[in-house]
Structure 1
Amino acid sequence: MTLSHDVAGDGPALVLLHSGVCDRRMWDAQWPALVAAGYRVVRCDFRGFGQTSVADRPYSNAEDVLELLDGISIERAALVGASYGGQVALEVAALRPDLVSALVLVCSALPGHVPSAELVELGEREDALIEAGDIAGAVELMVDTWLGPEANDAAREAVRRMQGLAFEVQLAAAEECEPIEPEVDVTAVRAPTLVLSGTHDLPDFRQIAAQLPGLLPDARHVELPWAGHLPSLERPSAITDLLVAYLRERIPIA
């Protein structure tokens, strides 16, 4: 099964992995700049998001990404992951340290993280709205929760469209299999890593960001005082500049 994806550009490979409330369109603002900077850029939709259908059998998002890269003949790549996409990036980098040249983790989740009571309660509120048939209410809960104070109307509408489509795709399926999260040891990651967090994000993700430099061999943590959970949508140009600067430092263009 191939994930729906886009590929553009030449040069070192760079893979963009989306959050669990968005799809690959969350990188629309960064996409052309990264291609222009000299990278071969790939972005994909996980199963049940965007243009990728839900799974009808057990699967792993990390294995799906590895299968995608193999299918387009990429043997080494930098990974940029937001939120749940950051967790998938860590899983890939732990499973295949030889494949990953660099990591950028944006408000990342962490394999094996035990969610706080606040995060569990959020999930319960979302589930209750969906079970009551209030899909619009569930979408607005996600928009209000995950975007920081600097998000403009365009950012809110973008998350509204992406989360709404994810609910539509997932609820339309006769049966949906939950992803299998591989047991990985993130200390196996060898890639240099930039960890970004948002001051206005939920505590779980701020704590994960503070924890990661102690787990990874070459990681730098930068907290963005203006950001919520989705800074690539909240201040697109700021995140583009951070990505280009870090990647040029770690993966120079020949």
Structure 2
Amino acid sequence: MSPHTDPRASDVHVPAPGGGRLWAERRGTGSPVVLLHGSGMDSRLWDAVAPALSRHHDVIRYDARGLGRSAAPERAFDDVADLLAVLDHFGLRRAALVGLSMGGETVLDFALAHPGRVAALGLVGASVSGHDWPPSPETTAYAEARRRGDTAALAELELSVWAAMGRDAPGGELVATMVEENAARRIVSEHHLAGAPARAAEPLLGTVTAPALVVHGDRDHPEIAAIARRLAADIPGARGHLVPDADHYLPLRTPERLIELLLAHLA
């Protein structure tokens, strides 16, 4: 049975700041854990992880603004404010936050803005605000695809650059489906996200107080590996793990190893 139709899970529509709704799912009991996905995907990223975590925790995952089942933005929005709205909607004073890529960037920014609300951090293939990404042909191609509104090119780039293990690897069909279904939504969402306040977490990593787990795959983008090393070195007490046989879509490529690491970190 798909996790999206699991009778033990409940679908919730969370009012988003400034209008619209965020699709969320809640399952399990125990200490709360909120899962955030990356750009160009949606909460199906956690399909192979959420059920196992929910045997020990109160697990919430949601689709970021304009992606998956969440409403498209009509004005500028802020991912950190959206995460705060999710926590408040579910009455969570504190929660562990686990984010991949853009989701990792969001939870780090949130931890700096609202340290008292964060019990622990899980940073999986995370990006970090304020990081100076080196220029490359792929970043130029991304910018051009967004400028033209070329959703097919954007999806193809996403799969070639970030899903390097391909469709035949574990989770490959779901990765491709998510990327292709969200390509057009991503362009709209990222256009409105440009209005959010500029942040720079990278120089402030030494002030993060939540216990942090930093995970990335050995087949991920080289710059994600560089960021992971920086996160593990600069966040006080952070523990870093390199996971074999995983690209940027690590929760679908090697879910068992990620579940093991998260359960140990959140215990």
- For the criterion TM > 0.5, the same-fold answer is yes
User: How far apart, in 1, do the equivalents of 2:254 and 2:190 lie?
Assistant: 37
Could you list the per-position Cα deviations for residues 167-216 of structure 1 after superposition, in whole angstroms to 9, with x for gaps in the alignment? 23345x59941242453533332111110122222221111111113321
Tell me: CA distance 1:89–1:130, structure 2 relative to 1, closer, same or farther (3 Å): closer
Structure 1 residue 111 displacement after superposition: 1.2
Query: Alignment partner for residue 84 of structure 1, among 99, 102, 107?
Result: 102
User: How far apart, in 2, do the equivalents of 1:97 and 1:134 lie?
Assistant: 39
Per the normalisation by structure 2, the TM-score is 0.83
Structure 1 residue 148 displacement after superposition: 4.1
- Could you tell me which runs of 5 or more consecutive residues in structure 1 were left unpaired when the two chains were aligned: 249-254
Q: How does 1:166-205 map to 2 (within 5 A)?
A: 166-170=182-186, 176-179=191-194, 180-183=196-199, 184=201, 185-205=204-224
Q: Which residue of 2 aligns with 1:139?
A: 155
Contact kept in structure 1, 2:39 and 2:186, CA below 8 Å: no
Q: Which residue of 1 aligns with 2:7?
A: none
Q: Which residue of 1 aligns with 2:247?
A: 228
**What is the CA RMSD across the aligned residues, in angstroms?**
2.3
Contact kept in structure 2, 1:147 and 1:234, CA below 8 Å: no
User: How far apart, in 2, do the equivalents of 1:60 and 1:212 lie?
Assistant: 23
Contact kept in structure 2, 1:81 and 1:108, CA below 8 Å: yes
- Could you tell me which runs of 5 or more consecutive residues in structure 2 were left unpaired when the two chains were aligned: 1-15
Identical-pair percentage: 32
User: How far apart, in 2, do the equivalents of 1:130 and 1:217 lie?
Assistant: 37
Contact kept in structure 1, 2:145 and 2:153, CA below 8 Å: yes
Could you list the per-position Cα deviations for residues 93-135 of structure 1 after superposition, in whole angstroms to 9, with x for gaps in the alignment? 11111111111101100110111113xx323323444666753
Query: Which gives a bigger RCO, structure 1 or 2 (Cα 8 Å, sep 6+)?
Result: 1
Contact kept in structure 2, 1:56 and 1:176, CA below 8 Å: no
User: How far apart, in 2, do the equivalents of 1:193 and 1:53 lie?
Assistant: 31
Contact kept in structure 1, 2:166 and 2:172, CA below 8 Å: no
Contact kept in structure 1, 2:95 and 2:118, CA below 8 Å: yes
Divergent runs of 4+, >6 A: none
Q: Which residue of 2 aligns with 1:152?
A: 168
